[in-house]
Amino acid sequence: MKNILFLFVVFFSLLGCKKMKQHQHEIVVEEVEEEESVADERQEQQNEELQESRSIAVLIAENAEFTDFHFLLQKADLATNLLENHGPYTVFIPTNGSLESSEVDNLDDKETAEFAKYYILNSSFSYEDLKAEIGENKGEFFLENSLGSTLQFAEKEDGIYLKTLSGDFMKVEKYTEASNGYLYKIEVNN
- Its pTM stands at 0.65
CA dist 71 to 61, 62, 141, 168, Å?
9, 12, 29, 22
pLDDT of residue 2: 65
Residue spans of the chain under pLDDT 50: 102
pLDDT of residue 48: 63
Cα separation, 88 vs 100, whole angstroms: 28
pLDDT of residue 51: 54
Residue 24 resides in a domain: no
Residue 44 resides in a domain: no
Residue 103 resides in a domain: yes
Residue 59: give its domain's CATH number: 2.30.180.10
pLDDT of residue 70: 87
Task: List, for residues 96-143, the tens digit of each pLDDT value.
Answer: 877 765 466 677 878 888 888 888 888 888 888 888 888 787 778 888
Residue 28 resides in a domain: no
Which structural domain, as residue segments, surrounds residue 159? 54-188
Residue 39 resides in a domain: no
The 10 Å Cβ neighbour count of residue 4 is: 8
Residue (of 95, 101, 106) closest to 172 by Cα position? 95
Residue 115 resides in a domain: yes
pLDDT of residue 50: 53
Residue 72 resides in a domain: yes
Total domains in the fold of the chain: 1
Residue 48 resides in a domain: no
Cα separation, 39 vs 95, whole angstroms: 34
